[in-house]
Amino acid sequence: MKTRITELFGIEHPIIQGGMHYVGFAELAAAVSNAGGLGIITGLTQKTPELLAREIARCREMTDKPFGVNLTFLPTFAKPPYPEYIRAIIEGGVKAVETAGRNPEPYLPYLKAAGIKVIHKCTSVRHSLKAEAIGCDAVSVDGFECGGHPGEDDVPNFILLPRAAEELKIPFVASGGMADGRSLVAALALGAEGINMGTRFIATKEAPVHENVKQAIVRASELDTRLIMRPLRNTERVLMNEGVKRILEVERERGAALTIEDIHEQVAGIYPKVMTEGEMEAGAWSCGMVAGLIHDVPTVKELVDRIMTEADALITKRLAGFARS
């Protein structure tokens, strides 16, 4: 399938694997790229720019296809050394960067000068337009149903995607709630030129996370995620567990007076416990409502091939059958 997204990134299928903390290691990124999509290494999971350089080199040994790096600009006080992370990306010869979080504008000139294509993840039309205005090449439009940080506007993809299509000139992918061929075809119908998936890619054979995480996603229904940190305007969609129950209790008790310190224990340092150790009740980890559509743990290639085969059949048979002759 050819879209402006496949052309932009030099990939076969319009499927991107979004950056995921403690999931987006070289193994997953390479598997997605080898399957014809765009795999993405999560930059900040690597604790130093040197470690990121090593991870990029490791990924290059596993694939000769294009892959990218996610750089999340966090609202934290302890600012990671972004210029050095960017140097590692450029020197590693990476040609695609997924930015997320804060405005990437200060760093764009360096990425663009190195010929890197930038896709910025946005949860609103106004942020998407801003990304276009500052020179991003594409946008990942992340609806309210997404795993991770859906923003504070709560607009689901059935509205957000066509609204983005009405306003944007640069291409965009649909992110949040994407799982299968139906998602891809619906996203294309709503104006996107591909899909970005997070949660779905965790439940794959190659995702380098504990088996408990994959099984928790397979077991979960669309009703099992919760929104935390709303009072902090740093909303995150996470899978319900004992740690999340405690967070929600504290949030109810503290109300608008909530501070990050109140829930520090259940949100800080949780990812390695969950993703590496498989401690499923430890605390908050991002997960999308799309868990309700995930029923198996295929290889990445099986998943990507299945999505493309399903999408082809939907377009040429089901939808063509509805067209007026």
Ligand X SMILES: Cc1cc2nc3c(=O)[nH]c(=O)nc-3n(C[C@H](O)[C@H](O)[C@H](O)COP(=O)(O)O)c2cc1C
CB of 239 to ligand X, least distance (A): 9
Under rule CB under 6 A, residue 284 binds ligand X: no
Give the SS3 label for residue 79.
coil
Contacts with ligand X in 171-190 (CB under 6 A)?
Answer: 175-178
Q: Are 200 and 178 in contact (CB under 8 A)?
A: yes
Which of 147/194 has CB closer to ligand X? 147
Contacts with ligand X in 34-53 (CB under 6 A)?
Answer: 42
Rounded to an integer, what distance in angstroms lies between the CA atom of residue 109 and that of residue 105?
Answer: 8
CB of 241 to ligand X, least distance (A): 13
Under rule CB under 6 A, residue 23 binds ligand X: yes
| Single residue of 14, 19, 36, 49 touching ligand X by CB under 6 A | 19
Three-class DSSP labels, 180-239? CHHHHHHHHHCCCCCEEECHHHHCCCCCCCCHHHHHHHHHCCCCCEEEECHHHCCCEEEE
* Partners of 97 in the β-ladder: 69, 118
Under rule CB under 6 A, residue 121 binds ligand X: yes
Rounded to an integer, what distance in angstroms lies between the CA atom of residue 301 and that of residue 35?
Answer: 5
Which of 107/285 has CB closer to ligand X? 285
CB of 167 to ligand X, least distance (A): 20
Give me the amino acid identity at 173.
V
CB of 253 to ligand X, least distance (A): 27
* Partners of 286 in the β-ladder: 238
Rounded to an integer, what distance in angstroms lies between the CA atom of residue 321 and that of residue 101?
Answer: 42
Residue that the structure tokens 């972004």 belong to: 82
Which of 153/253 has CB closer to ligand X? 153
Task: Give CA 99 to chain center in angstroms.
Answer: 10
Rounded to an integer, what distance in angstroms lies between the CA atom of residue 67 and that of residue 39?
Answer: 5
CB of 99 to ligand X, least distance (A): 8
Give the SS3 label for residue 262.
helix
CB of 150 to ligand X, least distance (A): 9
CB of 48 to ligand X, least distance (A): 16
Contacts with ligand X in 145-164 (CB under 6 A)?
Answer: 146-148
What is Dmax (Cα atoms) for the chain?
A: 62
CB of 275 to ligand X, least distance (A): 7
How many residues bind to ligand X according to rule CB under 6 A? 28
Residues 64-103, one symbol each (x = binds ligand X by CB under 6 A, - = not), give: ------x-x---------------------------x---
Taking CB atoms, the residue at the shortest distance from ligand X is 198
Other C-beta atoms closer than 10 Å to the C-beta of 260 total 12
Contacts with ligand X in 194-213 (CB under 6 A)?
Answer: 196-200
| Single residue of 1, 3, 12, 21 touching ligand X by CB under 6 A | 21
State the helix-helix crossing angle for 157-167 and 125-133, rounded to 10 degrees. 30
Under rule CB under 6 A, residue 142 binds ligand X: yes
- Residues near ligand X (CB under 6 A) are 18-21, 23, 42, 70, 72, 100, 121, 142, 146-148, 175-178, 196-200, 285-288, 290
